[in-house]
Amino acid sequence: MNEMIKVGMADSNVCVSPNAITTLGLGSCVGIVLYDPVRKIAGMVHVMLPDSTKIINNSNKAKFADTGIDLLISQMLAIGADRRNLVAKIAGGAQMFAFGANSDMMRIGDRNVEATKSKLKQLGISLKAEDTGANYGRTIEFYPDNGMLLIKSVGKEKKMI
């Protein structure tokens, strides 16, 4: 029986094929999947905020895009992934409520996505696919067996990226 490993908000975990890994109900948060296609090892982190250096209380590394990715890489290397093989897929970063234009909260989803991309770029990890932005929530499931990310949203067709 293959297992579906769950990742909560501000949480991270790793998984090896044939198991799969999921996070439920992504809103403005971003779900980041890193994947070693050779060893079929995947990791997922559900980050809430773009930048740990802007927040005083930053002990939970999985909460931030910058430290979350670092944490995930170290967790994956610990179970045998090869750093040079890693590629990424990301989803989330929606704007759930139509706040006014001058609201700081309005762009949090976008900022999470931007921070994620710039961290991946800085680490030289290639972003293979993304389903980000818009105004709806997403549940994502990643299958290390074939490297596909399944995206489910309310009232929308399932999507594979």
Partner 1 sequence: MVSQIDLNQIDNMQYDVLKEIGNIGAGNATTALSQMINSKIDMKVPKVDLLEFKELSDIVGGAENIVVGILFTLEGQIDGMMMFMMDMGAARHLVNLLLGGAYGSDSGEFSEMERSALNEIGNIIAGAYLSSLSSLTNLLITSSIPYMAIDMSGAILSVPAIEFGKIGDKALLIETEFGDADNAVNGFFILIPTIDSYKAILSSLGL
Tell me the per-residue interface mask from 29 to 58 with partner 1, x by CB under 8 A, - otherwise: x------------------xx-----x-x-
> What is the spatial distance between Cα 58 and Cα 20, in angstroms, rounded to a whole number?
29
Point out the catalytic residue in the list 20, 29, 88, 120.
29
Distances (CA, A) of 26 to 102, 133, 148, 150: 24, 11, 18, 13
The whole-angstrom distance between residue 92's C-alpha and the CA centroid of its chain comes to: 8
> Shortest gap between Cβ of 143 and partner 1 (angstroms)?
19
124 scored as a contact of partner 1 (CB under 8 A): no
119 scored as a contact of partner 1 (CB under 8 A): no
Are 33 and 69 in contact, with CB atoms under 8 Å apart?
Answer: no
Cβ contacts of residue 67 below 8 Å, gap of 6+?
52, 58, 61
Is 29 an annotated catalytic residue? yes
Site for partner 1 in 83-112 (CB under 8 A): 94, 96-100, 103, 105, 108
Q: Which residues bind partner 1 (CB under 8 A)?
A: 8-11, 24-29, 48-49, 55, 57, 59-60, 63, 94, 96-100, 103, 105, 108, 135-139, 154
Catalytic positions? 29
